Amino acid sequence: MISVQRGDMRYEGKAKRVYAVDRPDAYLVEFKDDATAFNGEKKGTIAQKGVVNNRLSAAMFTLLAAHGVETHYLETVSDREMLVRAVSIIPIEVVARNVVAGTLAKRLGLAEGTELARTVVEFYLKDDALGDPLINRSHALALGLATRPQLDELEARALRINEILKEHLLARGLLLIDFKLEFGLARDGRLILADEISPDTCRLWDAVTRDKLDKDRFRRDLGGVEEAYQEVARRLLP
């Protein structure tokens, strides 16, 4: 682990804090134990969540980089902190769905757990005040959120990442039900994967029992939240 000089806090979200560091091309991201659901209406704490999410995100970013997917991850700084490349976040959350769950079940009237004939990629406006609403490509273009080529690339990247993660997770007894991605633009305009990959941003089920091993345990008051996060870490971390 490296040593960096933490500067002023630049941003605090529901799960992370972002700090300036002693180099202009990077930020320090600190993962918190805070947990929220339903756009912040439900709040709580999951013990050691920040540690698990930091370590898992670093591992997943490293895996993706080995498959040619460029990410903002640079180095792990501590159990809860990573150094990341500075990017301008595109205000679109990209969601890839392999199995019906959560809001998709409600919107389409399908039973949770129904396997989709093909992966569904959705775009959501990244705006907490509006509840991160579902948008289509026309909305994104009309609002100036991204260009047509960028939208094409966001979808293509999501599908590529999905294939890599699905295979990796299944080999460790986990089903990748759905997940959220965020991307940013580097100073030279390159599109780079950012944010995190963790049980906060992925629905993960045990491949045999189909037990939920993600933040749905917190959302739905299922209990065993800390144990679920630790189980995912046990399976995915060396």
List pLDDT tens digits, range 104-158. 999 999 999 999 999 999 999 999 999 999 999 999 999 999 999 999 999 999 9
Checking if the pLDDT of 168 tops 80, the result is yes
Do 21 and 136 reside in the same domain of the chain? no
Residues 45 and 96 in one domain: no
Q: How long is the chain?
A: 238
| Residues 218, 104 share a domain | yes
Do residues 100 and 62 both lie within one domain?
Answer: no
Q: Are residues 70 and 93 in the same domain?
A: no
Same domain, 93 and 78: no
237 inside domain: no
- Given 85, 113, 147, which residue is the final one in a domain? 85
Last residue of a domain, one of 34, 53, 85: 85
Which of 61, 63, 58, 60 has its CA nearest to residue 82? 58
**Model pLDDT, residue 211:** 98
Annotate 90-124 with DSSP letters as a single string: -SEEEEEEEE--THHHHHHTPPTTPEEEEEEEEEE
Is there a domain that residue 235 lies in?
Answer: no
Quick one: 148 and 78 in the same domain? no
Task: Give start and end residues of each alpha helix (H) in 119-213.
Answer: 137-142, 148-170
**Domain total for the chain?**
2
- pTM as predicted: 0.95
Average pLDDT, the chain: 96
Residue 178 has pLDDT above 90, yes or no: yes
Residue 154 belongs to a domain: yes
Res 42: pLDDT? 86
189 has pLDDT over 80: yes
Q: How do residues 74-111 score in pLDDT, each as one tens digit?
A: 999 999 999 999 999 999 999 999 999 999 999 999 99
Quote the domain boundaries for residue 139.
Answer: 88-224
CA distances from 169 to 10, 103, 162 (A): 33, 23, 10
Q: Which of 63, 85, 107 is at the close of a domain?
A: 85
pLDDT in tens, 22-74: 999 999 999 999 999 887 778 999 999 999 999 999 999 999 999 999 999 99
What band does 193 get if pLDDT is binned at 50, 70 and 90?
very high
97 and 201 in a single domain? The answer is yes
Tell me, yes or no, whether 216 lies in a domain: yes
Residue 94 and residue 139 in one domain: yes
* Segment 147-176 mean pLDDT: 98
Instruction: Supply the CATH number for residue 27's domain.
Output: 3.30.200.20
pLDDT, residue 5, reads 86
Give me the pLDDT at residue 1, please: 64
Q: Is residue 20 domain-shared with residue 66, that is, in the same domain?
A: yes
Angle subtended at Cα 188 by Cα 78 and Cα 68, rounded to the nearest 5 degrees:
60
Element (H, E) at 52: helix 49-66
In a domain, residue 229? The reply is no
Q: Can you give the CATH number for the domain in which 171 is found?
A: 3.30.470.20
Do 166 and 117 lie in one domain? The reply is: yes
The verdict on 73 and 97 lying in the same domain is: no
